[in-house]
Structure 1
Amino acid sequence: MTLYLVAFILCLILGVPIAFSLGIASIAYLLVNDQWHLMLGFPQKMIGGIDNFVLLTIPFFILAGNLMNSANLTREIVRFAQMLVGGMRGGLAVVNVVASMLFSGVSGAATAEASAIGSVMIPAMRKDGYRTDYAAALTATASILGPLVPPSLSLILYGVLTSTSIADLFLAGIAPAFVLCFLLIVYAIWRARGETHAAPVPVKPEDRAGVMIKALPTLLLPVIIVGGIRSGLFTPTEAAAVAALYALLIGVFLYRSLSAKTIAQAFYDTATMTAGVMLIVAMASMTAFILGIENIPRAIAEAIREVSDQPWILILLLNVILLILGLFLEPLAALVLAMPILNEIFPLLDMNAVQFGVMVVLNLMIGMITPPVGLCLFIVSAIGKQPMEKVAVAILPMIGLCLMVLLLVAFVPALTLSLPALLGGG
């Protein structure tokens, strides 16, 4: 197993994409351990890792988000957020956070949110006198709200890997997302006390109805998804297809901002993004198979069991391990790799599977805003034309807020389980 880790880390250092790093390390392990005959089953293991009907939700939800973004709905969401909160001190920073929260119900992925909101808000905040590194850091942190609410791709994958209700997971992530959103707003207002920024241009009273009407169809998307699944009207996979169709229809007939060219581009982007996601999952499935050969999950579970028999200590230890894992791995790959181990540890924690899922996903999302492999950091740094090191320093207080929410998720079950229970799940 040492050879596998060395090969994997070496590939990452050389800049090899994560999916190929996993595959190369797996092949190196099989060859050196004289198990080359298992390479004949390599394609089958890869296909088996993605041969799950529920995984069809991923391309459909990606398509829905791409269609919404191609329809230029980001600006409508930002304008609606500006109407709600833009008049307060530090208003543009607050608009950034609220817009990210509203856009979360469209994207399902932190990277898509960082790109869409960042391309609008970072230049606007810089123009109004905000430090660019702060604007980029705030955008990156707010982007991890996306994977906590429907249609979260990470929660879908967790649900597939553990046979946990995806509808319950969708509902469970909403309250933590609102708590993090609130803390980021408080931080933005506190930060604004010592800085002078021009107030955002207010939305005229006569324009407010129009702004609300334009934003409402977009904001209804997560309601349709969760409501349809919870009511039994359609399955998660069907909900994803409905979401994509809904995005297409409102983009073409209501907003009239989707042309044949933009629709084709949205489908192309969806195909490339889906291929990337599925390749990561497939390669990580092969690595999970190797972990099984070496009996690593059980060995790690036994080692953790030796540390303590107190669930709260084990939960803290597990969070530290997941945070470290998130520093180096893309969340979807980390989920596939970690779940065989986590399934062995989970019975020791005295925790609900839905609460556990939100905790795991939030851990890995924090990795998206921390170096050295923080994809959201790379995106906002590129948009803001700032060195990543500078943005990483500016984001440290906001990572502290994320860790506070993580502790609440880990040790306050009501935060994640109340809403699913209220709506008949959990």
Structure 2
Amino acid sequence: MTAVMLTTMVLCFALTVSVAVSIGLAAILGIQVSNANMLISVKEMFGAINKFPLAAIPFFILAGNLMETGGISRRLVEFAKSIVGGIQGGLPMTCVLTCMIFAAVSGSSVATTFAIGAILIPALIKHGYPKTYAAALQATSAELGVIIPPSIPMILYGVSAEVSIGELFIAGFGPGLLISAALMFFVWAYCKYKGWGKNDGEGRLGFGKATLQAGWALLMPVIILGGIYGGIFTPTEASAVAVFYALVVGMLIYREIKIRDLYAIFRKSAISSSIIMFIIANAGLFAFLITRAGVPDAIGRWLEEVLQSPAMFLLGVNAALFIIGMFIETSAAIIVLAPILAPVAMHFGIDPVHFGLIMVVNLALGMITPPFGVNLFAACTVARISLDQIIKHLLPFVGVILLCLMVITYVPGISLALRDLVYR
């Protein structure tokens, strides 16, 4: 059964069948081969999405779309530009900083790519940066959307591995800040080397004026994250608060969202949420079948025999996840692999929260690596270029993220220090 499922899934991937359909078809064939009752599929698919924390996903997606339409993202760009935009290479640094702030509410890298990229990619091109560099920078910076909390992949890992989502969220700040700082330093040094961005400060608002304009936008992550860590509401409840706040600010304060805009916003959010939920449902059925077949236990025993130390286990897992992330969508990969790998990691004495951050950061790389990097497609759509054109400028960014991943992997304190301070 397992061989049939894996072969079917890989074959479908090779034929460019969508991830959700590939996983679902493989699971259905697995049920047929094992002569199990097809009612299992209905039960397990419903059970996979019938979890309270998953309700946060459509709300965070909706909040991100409301922020994009309501002028919140544009004001965040002006605020970030007022901080770092005055130096050479300040505009690319503004892109990284804005994505970091936007990520503290949206939870989605694709939403971050469209919301911030629509503003900054044209601005970067106008200031003389190559179009391909602007798109590669935006795709990479938007990766922070799934690393800095709140994060949809963290929610999925928490549900799949039965780990506290609140602990995952607070542990995500360390890796997120590390990657942000590394990217900002790299783009500054690269622009110095290339001689780009000497006029990045043109049209830059003063810090006070930019802060005043962005005040309501900046208050949003404070309310959301402060409410979660202050125990006022759960991460799922926070997602609903984010939607309400973005709606009020966009319609009543900034007045950039009109009644006629709501249908398009809700429709876009519903489609995005449905795609993710369909992937989760199919992946849940697939995970149930391979678990019943004993695959997780077999893999766990094999890993224990081959990779006999925690350091080697983490190295092997990182290499495997990096390759897997190139071909399988992040959400599906987490749902399928987290129940398999998290128990093995705990056997090696690795904190499940730390391991969750390693998985999320690594698989987030898949969003900016060909052939199926969703951020690449989004950034190329905004910049109106083909995927092959972006590769040259993308590779150095991938190298920076890989270096940060190694640091996050082997220095657990980056992920766990703040978590231990708050929860222990």
2-structure distance, mates of 1:15, 1:354: 33
1:152 maps to 151
Shift of 1:203: 5.0
Other-structure match for 2:200: 200
Q: In 1, Cα distance between the equivalents of 2:310 and 2:207? A: 51
What are the equivalent positions in structure 2 for 1:290-301 lying under 5 Å apart?
290-301=289-300
| Aligned positions of 1:232-381 closer than 5 A | 232-381=231-380
Output one character per residue of 1:345-375: Cα deviation in whole Å (capped at 9) or x when no partner: 1223322221111111001101111011111
The residue correspondences of 1:18-167 to structure 2 (distance < 5 A) are 18-31=19-32, 33-35=33-35, 37-167=36-166
C-alpha contact (below 8 Å) 1:129/1:198 kept by paired residues: no
Q: C-alpha displacement at 1:208, in angstroms?
A: 4.1
Rounded Cα–Cα distance in structure 1 between residues aligned with 2:157 and 2:237: 18
Q: Output the CA distance in 2 between the equivalents of 1:34 and 1:284.
A: 18
Distance 1:203 1:128, change over 3 A: closer
Shift of 1:204: 6.1
The residue aligned with 1:425 is 423
Taking the aligned partners of 2:198 and 2:346, their CA distance within structure 1 comes to 53
Q: TM-score, normalised by structure 1?
A: 0.94
The residue aligned with 1:16 is 17
The 1:168–1:202 alpha-carbon spacing in structure 2 relative to 1, beyond 3 Å, is farther
Which residue identity does 1:333 align to in structure 2?
A: A
**Structure 1 residues 197, 54: closer, same or farther in 2, change over 3 A?**
closer
Name the CA distance, whole Å, in 2 between partners of 1:340 and 1:163.
9
Structure 1 pair 204–361 and aligned structure 2 pair: CA distance change class (3 A): closer
Give the distance between the partners of 1:413 and 1:240, measured in 2 at CA.
28
Letter of the 1:127 partner, please give it.
K
1:80 touches 1:215 (CA, 8 Å); kept in 2? yes
- State the number of aligned residues: 422
| Structure 1 residues 204 and 21: alpha-carbon distance in aligned structure 2, compared to 1, 3 A threshold | closer
The alignment's C-alpha RMSD in Å is: 1.7
1:317, distance to aligned residue in structure 2 (A): 0.7
Q: Please tell me whether the aligned partners of residues 71 and 254 of structure 2 are also in contact (alpha carbons under 8 angstroms).
A: no
Amino acid at match of 1:219: L
Using the TM superposition, name which of 297-306 and 216-225 deviates more.
Answer: 216-225
Q: Is the 8 A contact 1:167 1:226 kept in 2?
A: no
Contact 1:19 1:284 in 2 (8 A): yes
Question: Identity of paired residues, percent?
Answer: 37
Pairwise CA distance, 1:202: 3.9
CA contact (8 A) 2:93 2:188 kept: yes
1:183, 1:401 within 8 Å by CA — same for their partners in 2?
Answer: yes
CA contact (8 A) 1:92 1:199 kept: no
Partner of 1:385: 384
**Residue in 1 aligned with 2:179?**
180
| SS of 1:145 mapped into structure 2 | helix
Give the TM-score, by structure 2 length.
0.95
CA distance in 2, matches of 1:154, 1:73: 24
Deviation of 1:294 (Å): 2.1
Structure 2 gap segments, 5+ residues each = none
Q: What amino acid does structure 1 have at the position aligned with 2:200?
A: P
Tell me, in whole angstroms, the C-alpha distance in 1 between the residues paired with 2:84 and 2:183.
13
Contact 2:79 2:211 in 1 (8 A): yes
Query: In structure 2, how many angstroms separate the alpha carbons of the residues matched to 1:153 and 1:90?
Result: 31
Counterpart CA distance in 2 for 1:289 and 1:208 is 53
Cα distance in 2 for residues equivalent to 1:184 and 1:47: 40
Gaps of 5+ in 1: none
Distance 2:218 2:351 in 1: 30
SS of the residue 1:395 aligns to: helix
Q: Secondary structure at the match of 1:38?
A: coil
Q: Partner amino acid for 2:16? A: G
Distance 1:204 1:131 in 2: 21
Question: After the TM superposition, which of the residue ranges 308-317 and 377-386 deviates more from structure 2?
Answer: 377-386
Provide the C-alpha distance between the structure 1 equivalents of 2:375 and 2:336, rounded to a whole number of angstroms. 21
Contact between 1:83 and 1:203, CA under 8 Å: does it hold in 2?
no
